[in-house]
Amino acid sequence: MSGLNGLVVYNTRQVEMPMQPVSASAQTPDDVFGQRRQAALSALSHADMAQLQKLYDETWWNKPIVSPIRGPETGLIMLRGRTGGGGAPFNLGEATVSRASVRIDTGEVGHGYCLGRDTDKARLIAIIDALFQREPDNVEFAILRPLNDTAYWADKKRRDETAATKVDFFTMVRGED
């Protein structure tokens, strides 16, 4: 559904998640690969575009031929919240999201989403997602590990800076009434 100024407003839907966890022995290889892919897409969407582009350029000298399927395009998604973390759902607001879908020359289809209006990042995420489906171990080693390391150290630095400002309040109780 097209909006104004070339923006696309995505249809929203509520997704029901199963409440009972699946045991590790009941998981199929497709389930495990899906979880790895989900973690990869999460790391890619949170990554800095400059670092993502640098890692991709350093890793893949023989770039795949990429044909667009959809986008890249920018649209809005509805953010939903719950009162008290588990109460009645409500619409919190909207966020701008960019997305792209591509097919690489070997036939794999990749999808990329990221917050904001960075359509180049969404397209690059889609390309890396398609490559992940073809060569998951290579993508994990060459791109995802450095991204996860960077995210870990940035988070550690933030936690250390926050811990340095921590104030402990305590009450001393006198032994006399």
State whether residue 59 is helix, strand or coil. Answer: helix
pLDDT of residue 100: 92
State mean pLDDT over 126-151.
87
Q: How far is the first Cα of the chain from the last one, in angstroms, to the nearest whole number?
A: 72
pLDDT attached to residue 18: 46
What is the reported pTM?
A: 0.71
Distance CA 81, CA 55 (A): 35
**Phi and psi at residue 161, in whole multiples of 5°?**
-65, -40
Q: Quick one: tokens of 70?
A: 């959809």
Question: Does 110 have pLDDT greater than 60?
Answer: yes
Whether 11 shows a pLDDT value over 50: the answer reads no
Residue length, the chain?
A: 177
Q: What is the pLDDT of residues 117-127, one digit of tens each?
A: 989 999 999 99
Percent of the chain with pLDDT over 90: 10
Q: Which residues pair with 94 in a beta bridge?
A: 78
AA letter at 54 = K
**pLDDT for position 21:** 53
Highest mean pLDDT among 21-25, 79-83, 167-171, 172-176: 79-83
| pLDDT at position 2 over 50 | no
Q: What is the per-residue pLDDT across 14-26, written as a single tens digit (0 to 9) for each?
A: 444 444 554 555 6
Residue 64 has what pLDDT? 85
Antiparallel, parallel or unpaired: β 109-115 and 89-104 = antiparallel
pLDDT, tens digit, 9 for 90 and up, residues 37-96: 888 888 888 888 998 889 888 887 788 888 888 878 999 988 888 887 778 888 888 999
Q: Who's near 70: CB < 8 A, 6+ residues apart?
A: 99, 100, 101
Q: Report the pLDDT value the prediction gives residue 111, as an integer from 0 to 100.
A: 92
